[in-house]
Protein backbone atom coordinates (compact mmCIF):
# COMPACT_ATOMS: atom_id res chain seq x y z
CA UNK A 1 0.00 0.00 0.00
CA UNK A 2 2.83 2.44 0.95
CA UNK A 3 4.13 2.79 -2.55
CA UNK A 4 0.75 3.25 -4.17
CA UNK A 5 0.36 6.74 -5.58
CA UNK A 6 -1.12 9.82 -3.97
CA UNK A 7 -4.03 11.08 -6.10
CA UNK A 8 -4.51 14.80 -6.63
CA UNK A 9 -7.51 16.17 -8.48
CA UNK A 10 -8.46 19.62 -9.66
CA UNK A 11 -10.86 21.33 -12.01
CA UNK A 12 -7.89 22.10 -14.26
CA UNK A 13 -4.29 23.12 -13.92
CA UNK A 14 -4.63 25.37 -10.85
CA UNK A 15 -4.09 22.38 -8.56
CA UNK A 16 -0.55 22.06 -9.89
CA UNK A 17 0.40 24.70 -7.30
CA UNK A 18 -0.65 22.12 -4.68
CA UNK A 19 0.99 19.23 -6.57
CA UNK A 20 4.24 21.19 -6.59
CA UNK A 21 4.19 21.64 -2.83
CA UNK A 22 3.40 17.94 -2.31
CA UNK A 23 6.24 16.89 -4.62
CA UNK A 24 8.63 19.24 -2.80
CA UNK A 25 7.72 17.90 0.65
CA UNK A 26 7.22 14.25 -0.36
CA UNK A 27 9.78 13.62 -3.10
CA UNK A 28 9.63 9.82 -2.69
CA UNK A 29 5.92 9.49 -3.45
CA UNK A 30 4.33 8.32 -6.69
CA UNK A 31 1.83 10.96 -7.82
CA UNK A 32 -1.24 10.82 -10.04
CA UNK A 33 -2.63 14.23 -10.93
CA UNK A 34 -5.97 14.63 -12.70
CA UNK A 35 -7.01 18.02 -14.08
CA UNK A 36 -10.42 18.40 -15.76
CA UNK A 37 -9.21 20.89 -18.37
CA UNK A 38 -12.11 19.94 -20.68
CA UNK A 39 -14.63 21.43 -18.25
CA UNK A 40 -12.66 24.02 -16.28
CA UNK A 41 -13.59 26.44 -14.68
CA UNK A 42 -15.81 24.86 -12.01
CA UNK A 43 -16.10 28.00 -9.89
CA UNK A 44 -18.75 29.61 -12.08
CA UNK A 45 -21.04 26.54 -12.19
CA UNK A 46 -23.90 25.41 -9.97
CA UNK A 47 -23.66 22.96 -7.06
CA UNK A 48 -25.18 20.01 -8.93
CA UNK A 49 -22.77 20.32 -11.87
CA UNK A 50 -19.70 20.69 -9.64
CA UNK A 51 -20.69 17.64 -7.56
CA UNK A 52 -21.30 15.51 -10.67
CA UNK A 53 -17.92 16.43 -12.17
CA UNK A 54 -16.08 16.00 -8.85
CA UNK A 55 -17.44 12.48 -8.34
CA UNK A 56 -16.08 11.52 -11.77
CA UNK A 57 -12.63 12.83 -10.84
CA UNK A 58 -12.54 10.93 -7.55
CA UNK A 59 -13.79 7.72 -9.20
CA UNK A 60 -10.95 7.94 -11.72
CA UNK A 61 -8.38 8.22 -8.92
CA UNK A 62 -9.94 5.39 -6.90
CA UNK A 63 -9.74 3.17 -9.98
CA UNK A 64 -6.04 4.05 -10.20
CA UNK A 65 -5.61 2.53 -6.71
CA UNK A 66 -4.38 5.65 -4.98
CA UNK A 67 -3.73 5.49 -1.22
CA UNK A 68 -5.08 8.99 -0.52
CA UNK A 69 -6.79 11.75 -2.49
CA UNK A 70 -6.05 15.44 -2.26
CA UNK A 71 -8.82 17.62 -3.65
CA UNK A 72 -6.65 20.57 -4.65
CA UNK A 73 -9.59 22.59 -5.95
CA UNK A 74 -11.16 25.05 -3.51
CA UNK A 75 -14.43 25.05 -5.44
CA UNK A 76 -14.83 21.27 -5.10
CA UNK A 77 -13.64 21.32 -1.47
CA UNK A 78 -16.20 24.04 -0.71
CA UNK A 79 -19.07 22.40 -2.58
CA UNK A 80 -19.17 18.65 -1.97
CA UNK A 81 -16.22 17.29 0.06
CA UNK A 82 -18.35 15.19 2.49
CA UNK A 83 -20.08 13.50 -0.48
CA UNK A 84 -16.69 12.60 -1.95
CA UNK A 85 -15.36 11.34 1.39
CA UNK A 86 -18.39 9.14 2.01
CA UNK A 87 -17.89 7.25 -1.27
CA UNK A 88 -14.12 6.81 -1.06
CA UNK A 89 -12.32 3.81 0.48
CA UNK A 90 -9.21 5.99 1.01
CA UNK A 91 -8.81 9.33 2.84
CA UNK A 92 -9.98 12.40 0.88
CA UNK A 93 -8.34 15.66 1.95
CA UNK A 94 -9.74 19.02 0.94
CA UNK A 95 -7.92 22.35 1.07
CA UNK A 96 -10.28 24.33 3.29
CA UNK A 97 -10.13 22.59 6.69
CA UNK A 98 -6.29 22.42 6.87
CA UNK A 99 -6.05 26.06 5.78
CA UNK A 100 -8.54 27.24 8.38
CA UNK A 101 -6.75 25.21 11.06
CA UNK A 102 -3.46 26.84 10.10
CA UNK A 103 -4.84 30.37 10.26
CA UNK A 104 -7.14 30.11 13.26
CA UNK A 105 -5.36 27.61 15.50
CA UNK A 106 -1.69 28.04 14.63
CA UNK A 107 -1.49 31.67 13.67
CA UNK A 108 -4.19 32.89 16.09
CA UNK A 109 -5.82 35.18 13.58
CA UNK A 110 -8.66 37.45 14.61
CA UNK A 111 -9.81 39.02 11.33
CA UNK A 112 -9.58 36.92 8.19
CA UNK A 113 -10.10 37.84 4.54
CA UNK A 114 -10.87 35.19 1.95
CA UNK A 115 -10.86 35.48 -1.83
CA UNK A 116 -12.08 32.71 -4.14
CA UNK A 117 -14.34 31.75 -7.01
CA UNK A 118 -18.01 32.67 -6.86
CA UNK A 119 -18.96 29.06 -5.96
CA UNK A 120 -16.41 28.92 -3.12
CA UNK A 121 -17.42 32.28 -1.64
CA UNK A 122 -21.18 31.63 -1.99
CA UNK A 123 -20.81 28.24 -0.28
CA UNK A 124 -19.63 29.94 2.96
CA UNK A 125 -17.51 26.79 3.56
CA UNK A 126 -14.52 28.72 4.90
CA UNK A 127 -16.79 30.56 7.35
CA UNK A 128 -18.34 27.28 8.52
CA UNK A 129 -14.97 25.62 9.12
CA UNK A 130 -13.78 28.70 11.00
CA UNK A 131 -16.86 28.68 13.21
CA UNK A 132 -16.20 25.04 14.14
CA UNK A 133 -12.80 26.04 15.52
CA UNK A 134 -13.53 29.43 16.98
CA UNK A 135 -16.82 31.21 16.93
CA UNK A 136 -15.33 34.61 17.63
CA UNK A 137 -13.34 34.98 14.41
CA UNK A 138 -14.40 37.75 12.06
CA UNK A 139 -14.40 36.78 8.41
CA UNK A 140 -14.78 38.83 5.24
CA UNK A 141 -14.92 37.19 1.84
CA UNK A 142 -14.92 38.36 -1.74
CA UNK A 143 -15.39 36.50 -5.04
CA UNK A 144 -12.76 37.34 -7.70
CA UNK A 145 -13.94 35.36 -10.74
CA UNK A 146 -11.79 37.08 -13.38
CA UNK A 147 -8.51 36.23 -11.63
CA UNK A 148 -8.76 32.64 -12.91
CA UNK A 149 -8.79 33.44 -16.66
CA UNK A 150 -6.20 36.19 -16.12
CA UNK A 151 -3.84 33.71 -14.41
CA UNK A 152 -4.54 31.04 -17.05
CA UNK A 153 -3.65 33.51 -19.80
CA UNK A 154 -0.40 34.40 -18.04
CA UNK A 155 -1.46 38.02 -17.40
CA UNK A 156 0.56 37.85 -14.18
CA UNK A 157 1.57 41.44 -13.50
CA UNK A 158 -0.34 43.01 -16.37
CA UNK A 159 -1.87 46.50 -15.87
CA UNK A 160 -5.38 45.11 -16.49
CA UNK A 161 -4.83 42.41 -13.86
CA UNK A 162 -3.77 45.11 -11.39
CA UNK A 163 -6.89 47.21 -12.10
CA UNK A 164 -9.22 44.24 -11.71
CA UNK A 165 -7.44 42.93 -8.59
CA UNK A 166 -7.54 46.39 -7.03
CA UNK A 167 -11.26 46.60 -7.70
CA UNK A 168 -11.91 43.20 -6.10
CA UNK A 169 -9.64 43.85 -3.10
CA UNK A 170 -10.91 47.35 -2.31
CA UNK A 171 -13.71 45.58 -0.42
CA UNK A 172 -11.11 44.81 2.28
CA UNK A 173 -9.90 48.43 2.56
CA UNK A 174 -11.74 49.22 5.81
CA UNK A 175 -11.91 45.66 7.16
CA UNK A 176 -8.56 45.59 9.02
CA UNK A 177 -7.85 41.96 8.10
CA UNK A 178 -4.68 40.27 9.43
CA UNK A 179 -4.67 37.40 6.95
CA UNK A 180 -5.81 36.93 3.37
CA UNK A 181 -6.51 33.34 2.31
CA UNK A 182 -5.97 32.62 -1.39
CA UNK A 183 -9.06 30.45 -1.70
CA UNK A 184 -8.44 29.37 -5.29
CA UNK A 185 -5.46 27.41 -6.58
CA UNK A 186 -4.90 29.89 -9.39
CA UNK A 187 -4.32 32.83 -7.11
CA UNK A 188 -0.80 31.92 -5.90
CA UNK A 189 0.31 32.71 -9.47
CA UNK A 190 -0.87 36.28 -8.91
CA UNK A 191 0.53 36.38 -5.37
CA UNK A 192 2.96 39.28 -5.94
CA UNK A 193 0.25 41.45 -7.50
CA UNK A 194 -2.19 40.57 -4.71
CA UNK A 195 0.42 41.28 -1.99
CA UNK A 196 1.33 44.59 -3.61
CA UNK A 197 -2.32 45.71 -3.68
CA UNK A 198 -3.48 44.38 -0.29
CA UNK A 199 -0.40 45.76 1.45
CA UNK A 200 2.69 44.19 2.97
CA UNK A 201 1.33 44.12 6.51
CA UNK A 202 -1.30 41.51 5.61
CA UNK A 203 -0.10 37.91 5.64
CA UNK A 204 -1.13 35.91 2.60
CA UNK A 205 -2.02 32.25 3.15
CA UNK A 206 -1.63 29.75 0.31
CA UNK A 207 -3.64 26.56 1.06
CA UNK A 208 -0.98 24.40 -0.64
CA UNK A 209 1.25 24.38 2.46
CA UNK A 210 -1.29 23.52 5.20
CA UNK A 211 -2.97 20.98 2.87
CA UNK A 212 0.35 19.23 2.29
CA UNK A 213 1.00 19.29 6.05
CA UNK A 214 -2.38 17.59 6.62
CA UNK A 215 -1.60 15.00 3.93
CA UNK A 216 1.71 14.19 5.64
CA UNK A 217 -0.09 13.86 8.99
CA UNK A 218 -2.61 11.43 7.57
CA UNK A 219 -0.02 9.34 5.72
CA UNK A 220 2.18 9.23 8.83
CA UNK A 221 -0.68 8.28 11.18
CA UNK A 222 -1.80 5.52 8.82
CA UNK A 223 1.79 4.36 8.20
CA UNK A 224 1.37 5.05 4.51
CA UNK A 225 4.43 7.15 3.72
CA UNK A 226 6.11 5.97 0.53
CA UNK A 227 9.82 5.52 -0.15
CA UNK A 228 10.19 5.28 -3.91
CA UNK A 229 13.71 6.08 -4.98
CA UNK A 230 12.48 6.63 -8.53
CA UNK A 231 9.00 7.99 -8.02
CA UNK A 232 6.57 8.03 -10.95
CA UNK A 233 4.54 11.19 -11.49
CA UNK A 234 1.75 10.97 -13.98
CA UNK A 235 -0.34 13.99 -15.01
CA UNK A 236 -3.71 13.29 -16.62
CA UNK A 237 -5.80 15.98 -18.27
CA UNK A 238 -9.17 15.77 -20.00
CA UNK A 239 -8.05 18.30 -22.62
CA UNK A 240 -4.58 19.34 -23.78
CA UNK A 241 -3.94 22.33 -26.00
CA UNK A 242 -0.73 24.20 -26.72
CA UNK A 243 -1.93 26.78 -24.18
CA UNK A 244 -2.38 24.04 -21.53
CA UNK A 245 1.24 23.05 -21.91
CA UNK A 246 2.35 26.69 -21.86
CA UNK A 247 0.41 27.41 -18.67
CA UNK A 248 1.73 24.24 -17.03
CA UNK A 249 5.20 25.63 -17.60
CA UNK A 250 4.16 28.91 -15.95
CA UNK A 251 2.84 26.92 -12.96
CA UNK A 252 5.94 24.79 -12.61
CA UNK A 253 8.14 27.80 -13.26
CA UNK A 254 9.69 26.31 -16.34
CA UNK A 255 10.16 22.70 -15.32
CA UNK A 256 7.45 20.14 -15.74
CA UNK A 257 7.87 17.22 -13.42
CA UNK A 258 6.30 14.16 -15.02
CA UNK A 259 4.58 12.39 -17.86
CA UNK A 260 1.45 14.01 -19.34
CA UNK A 261 -1.50 12.12 -20.82
CA UNK A 262 -4.92 12.98 -22.17
CA UNK A 263 -7.90 10.92 -20.99
CA UNK A 264 -11.69 10.89 -21.31
CA UNK A 265 -13.77 10.75 -18.16
Q: Cβ of residue 9: shortest distance to a second copy, in angstroms?
A: 17
Range in contact with a second copy (rule: CB under 8 A) among 192-200, 201-209, 223-231, 232-240: 232-240
Angle at 111 between CA 105 and CA 114, to 5 degrees: 90
Instruction: Kindly tell me which residue out of 2, 3, 25, 44 binds a second copy, with binding defined by CB under 8 A.
Output: 44
Q: List the strands of the sheet with 203-205, edge to edge.
A: 138-143, 111-116, 179-183, 203-205
Q: Which is nearer to a second copy, 49 or 88 (CB)?
A: 49
Angle at 11 between CA 41 and CA 87, to 5 degrees: 130
The counts of H helices and E strands in the chain are: 11, 10
Query: Which residues 106-125 are close enough to bind a second copy by CB under 8 A?
Result: 118
| 89 near a second copy, rule: CB under 8 A | no
Instruction: Kindly tell me which residue out of 106, 170, 192, 243 binds a second copy, with binding defined by CB under 8 A.
Output: 243
Evaluate the CA torsion angle 255, 257, 260, 264 in order and state its sign.
negative
Q: Cβ of residue 102: shortest distance to a second copy, in angstroms?
A: 30
Nearest by Cα to 244 from 71, 40, 95: 40
Q: What is the rounded distance in angstroms from the CA atom of residue 119 to the CA atom of residue 165?
A: 18
Q: Is 184 a catalytic residue?
A: yes
Q: Which residues, listed in sequence order, are joined to residue 183 by a DSSP beta bridge?
A: 116
| 159 near a second copy, rule: CB under 8 A | yes
Q: Which residues, listed in sequence order, are joined to residue 70 by a DSSP beta bridge?
A: 8, 93
| 241 near a second copy, rule: CB under 8 A | yes
Q: Which of 9, 73, 80, 144 is catalytic?
A: 73
- If one counts every other C-beta atom within 10 angstroms of the C-beta of residue 235, the result is 21
Instruction: Kindly tell me which residue out of 3, 4, 39, 196 binds a second copy, with binding defined by CB under 8 A.
Output: 39
Q: Cβ of residue 163: shortest distance to a second copy, in angstroms?
A: 4
- Summarize as ranges the residues that interact with a second copy (CB under 8 A): 37-39, 44-46, 48-49, 52, 118, 145-146, 148-150, 152-153, 155, 159-161, 163-164, 167, 238-241, 243, 262, 264
Amino acid sequence: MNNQPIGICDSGIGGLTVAKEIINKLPQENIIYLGDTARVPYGVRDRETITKFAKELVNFLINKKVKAIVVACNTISATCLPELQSRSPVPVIGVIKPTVFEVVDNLKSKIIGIIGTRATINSKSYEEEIKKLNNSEIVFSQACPLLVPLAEEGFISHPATKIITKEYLQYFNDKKIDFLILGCTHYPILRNTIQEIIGKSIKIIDPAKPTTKELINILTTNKLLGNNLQPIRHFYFTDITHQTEKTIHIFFEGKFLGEMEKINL
